Each structure stands twice: as C-alpha cells, then as structure tokens.
Structure 1
Amino acid sequence: MYVALWPRLLAGSLSLALSAAVQAAAPKADVMIWRLDCGQIQMNDASPLSDTGTYDGRSRRLSNGCYLIRHGAEMLLWDAGLPSTLLGKPIDSQPISPTLSVDLPTQLAKLGLRPDDITRLALSHYHFDHAGQAAAFPKATLLIGAADWTALRSTRKPAGAEPALLAPWLTGKGKVDPVEGDRDVFGDRSVVMLAMPGHTPGASALLVRLRQAGPVILSGDVVHLEAQWSLSAVPSWNTQRADSLSSMDRLQKLAANLGATIIVQHDPSDVSKLATFPVASR
C-alpha cells in the first residue's frame, strides 16, 4: 500500500515546492511589457558590489531600467528610476555618478499615455534609483514590500532611501498596498511580485508571463550584474547577507523551473533581452 501511495505523495510534495502564485500558467489577460530608460549609473568605484573584494579597484557601468506592464485595461509601472533632477547631469569622477537622459512622463507620452493612466506603481525596493520619479504618479496605488514600507516610516532613514520621493504616499494622500510575501497582482498569476529580501528588508522581483516571449523575471536588485550569480557576490550595502544569498538562489531556481528569462535590471547586457522601446514584448 505504501509503495502505491508513494507516487501520489511525491507529486503532492513537488506541487508545494512553488507557491500557487508562481506555478506555471499561461496568462489569461493581454499582457505586454515595455522597457523604459530610467538612467545610467557609472560606478567609478565598484567595490560595494561585493563584500568579499571581488570588485575592488574596478569600475562598472550600470543600466537602470523601469518597466511598463499592460494587463488588460490596467497599466502597472515597475520601478520609477532615477530622480528627474539628474536629467542631463554629466558623468563625473565621483565614486558613484548617476545620470538621466529622459524622464518617464516623456517616454509614456510616446505611447499616448499620461502619468494618471498608471493605475499601480510597484517598487522593487526603496532605494532612490528605483523610486526617483515615483511622485509623478500620485494617483497610482503604491505596491511595496511591507518591510520596506515599515523601514521608510521609521524615525531612522534607511541607507540609500530618499523618503521625500514617496511623499504622496508617506503623507497619506496616495493609496499604499504593503506586500507580504509573494503577491499575485491581478489574481490570474500573469504578474507576480516575488519576495526577495536581502538587498533591503522588503525587496522584490517581478514575474511577468507573456504569451509569445514566455515568462520573464525582472530582478530588482537581487543582483546588479549577471556575473554576480556565479560569484555569489553580495553587495556591502545589502541589509542582510544570508537573505541575499537565499534570494539569489530562489530566483535562479524559480527561473529554471518556470523556463523564465531573467532580466538583471542593472546589467547593460540584459537590455536587449526585451524589445527596444517603443516596441513592446508580448
């Protein structure tokens, strides 16, 4: 009897390996994604990208991507890039030198959209290079990891955060939806926020299922460069080292199990994995 039950028990245990929100499923709504240009970051000192000295004495150029996702009639913006105050700022010799060539409202206008057309603004985490232009979308519901939201509201400002960038929500004028664990954003498993703590306490990645291109995972800052996967390179500015390594492992295994393409948002070599703006990936 036990032998006969074993296949069923094994199947049951495997089905629990992935949460219901992220199990493989074809998208039910019309889902499209555009990569938006949210700046460049020149790291003249790349040493913070690893707390074990991997990048000591090196420099790296990082891209900074934001992503517009259409789900039926709804528009979700994933991350809000660098602040618009950096528009046209030249790259200089500072250890970290960010610049922005075009803002989000300008890019949305090329798609016939206004900031008020964005119904949900989901942030991978609270750092200024991902929340920079958030205030341009005050009518959007803000989705952010619950632990990050708690940190932003504490009396001690988290490193790398500029709470003023999220003023519409921190002052109570905008709607906030703090996210605990994984979140099936639209209820059909086509767009899922994935809990990936470590870089910040409530950091997330985003799984998007496309009919033609298949599933993609937007990394947030689980890593900043593709090379960090094999090196297990944890940045020195991450809030929790063990959580960082666990999230790196989880994201890679999810991608393998789902057959998903990982988009490392800060790696310039990953920009070409999605269609070039203003074309959308489907």
Structure 2
Amino acid sequence: MGAAVGLLALLGLPAHAADVALSRLDCGGAPAPQSVAAFSDTYAYPELKLQLVYSCYLVRHGDRYLVWDTGQPADGSPRAPKVALVDQLRAAGIDPADIDFVGLSHYHNDHTGQLASLPGATLLIGRGDWDAVRPDTPPDGMPAADYARRRAPLAHWTSGEGTVQPLSQPQHDVFGDGSVVMVSLPGHTPGHHGLLVKLPGQGNVLLSGDVTHFHENYATDGIPNWNTDRADSLASLDRFRKMAEHLKATVVIQHDPRDVGKLPAFPEFAE
C-alpha cells in the first residue's frame, strides 16, 4: 500500500480522490434585458441586449464544501436573489458554518455581494485583487465612496478577523487532489481567477468568472471598457479557451443566461 501511494505521489496523482459534485445557485439577475455595448471596447455590440444573471456555485468534495462567488447582495434590490445564499444552503440541510472555502473570481460587488454571510470560511482570492482591497485608503483617482463599496463585503477578512489565502501561482489546488483548481486569469481585475472542476461522471467544467461575460464576447475577444489590463485580458482568454479545448471541458459563462442550464439548479448536483 505504501509503495502504491508513493508512486501516485510521484506521478502527481491523488492516493484517493473524493467524490466531487457541482451545483449552481441563483444569486440574482438583471430585471430586464440590458445593453451590453460597454462590454466591448471595440464597439462590437451596439444593439445587443441580454438579461444577465448572477450565479453562485457550490462544490461538494466528499464532506467538504467550496462556494464559488457570492453574487448580488440579498438586499431586496431589483438585482437581488429571491432567496439569500445561506438560506438556500440551510433549506438543503447544509449549515453555512460548514462551508470550508469561499473562492472569489474577483472583487467586483456582483461577485462578493453575500460574502459577509460566510465568515467562517477561508477566503481564496487572487493576490492582485487582495492587494487592491486591503489598504485603508483608495488608490489614486478612485472616489472614496466607490472604494468603500468595493471593500465592504471583505471587511471581515481585511480586518484580520477572517482567514484569507491570497493566491499568487498560475493555479491553486483547493483540496489537494487536483479535482478543484482555481486558475489565474488576470486582466478583468489584477487577481482575477476562473475555476476548474473535474467531475468523475460529467467530466471537466470551467467556470469563467468574468474572463468573458457572454457568448459573443467569448467568440470575438470582447474586452469590457473597465478591465484593468487589456493585454492580460486577451492572454487570459487565450489560456481559458485552450484549457477548455485540451480538457474537453464544459464552459460555463457565469453571466450568460444561455449557460444557466449547463449545470443543475441547487440542491441538485452534477457529478
């Protein structure tokens, strides 16, 4: 047995892979179709309108859990989810205190809106994003109110009360067996990430974060006006596409309503 485990370690393979499953949770949505013209800095979509969605995802790894992104705040606003993330978990018999990790694709508020409701989880965030939200004072040129709004969901962690793991490497193996991997895809923000989930039955799934926002952007290298680095954005799109091709992965573009049906709605899971 010991020799077998040693061989697996040398090959970079887990000695025992836990059961892995993935589900999508409703974490808000646009109340009506909206223009997405600003999502292309080359003016590619002057007429296109989409009713964007805000998704959260739950990865079950044996008896451990990762929440990926936390969507819009559950504050009753038009874009808010009908049921808060933690209430969806409780209704399915999952105690929010049992969530081991919260992985953030990036620091934008439509991905961090319910983060504060999971204070016991270890926060996984790209180093570039962590460095952008940790200082008390805003960066040059950013209004203080905008910076405060960006930082507010992360206050439990920036204050030192919560456990945080800033990620600096090209990829981060969340559970240590290669089944759930955060992938560095900077450009939309300095520390932006996507998520690779290797399901034993369905196969590989790639969650986009905001490396791309909808099918048309993905097909034509659409870069939003507000991305922090255009060259990094293009390089990350290229990496993401090649990963999808080589892994024969199901690509889930998180904001595109046409991709919602690619994963089961919580509490059902893809396995």
Same fold (TM over 0.5): yes
- Do residues 276 (structure 1) and 265 (structure 2) align? yes
Moved more, 206-215 or 53-62: 53-62
Other-structure match for 1:130: 111
Other-structure match for 1:179: 167
Q: Is the 8 A contact 1:32 1:69 kept in 2?
A: yes
For 2:80 and 2:245, locate their aligned partners in 1 and report how far apart those are by CA, in whole Å: 34
**For 2:157, what is the secondary structure of its paired residue?**
helix
Q: Which runs of 5+ in 2 are unaligned?
A: 1-11
- Do residues 223 (structure 1) and 205 (structure 2) align? no
Paired residue for 2:232, among 235, 243, 260? 243
Q: Which runs of 5+ in 1 are unaligned?
A: 1-22, 91-97
Moved more, 66-75 or 159-168: 159-168
Moved more, 51-60 or 247-256: 51-60
For 1:58 and 1:271, locate their aligned partners in 2 and report how far apart those are by CA, in whole Å: 19
For 1:164 and 1:276, locate their aligned partners in 2 and report how far apart those are by CA, in whole Å: 29
Q: CA deviation at 1:45?
A: 3.4
For 1:254 and 1:57, locate their aligned partners in 2 and report how far apart those are by CA, in whole Å: 31
For 2:110 and 2:265, locate their aligned partners in 1 and report how far apart those are by CA, in whole Å: 21
Q: Is the 8 A contact 2:212 2:237 kept in 1?
A: yes
Percent of residue pairs bearing the same amino acid type: 47
Distance 1:27 1:236, change over 3 A: farther
Q: Is the 8 A contact 2:73 2:80 kept in 1?
A: no
Q: CA deviation at 1:277?
A: 2.5
- Do residues 166 (structure 1) and 154 (structure 2) align? yes
Other-structure match for 2:7: none
Output one character per residue of 1:54-109: Cα deviation in whole Å (capped at 9) or x when no partner.
22354321111110111112111000110111x2x34xxxxxxx332221011101
Q: Is the 8 A contact 1:47 1:58 kept in 2?
A: yes
Other-structure match for 1:69: 59
Paired residue for 1:115, among 76, 96, 102? 96
- TM-score normalised to structure 2 length: 0.87
- Do residues 156 (structure 1) and 145 (structure 2) align? no
Other-structure match for 1:80: 70
Q: CA deviation at 1:24?
A: 9.8
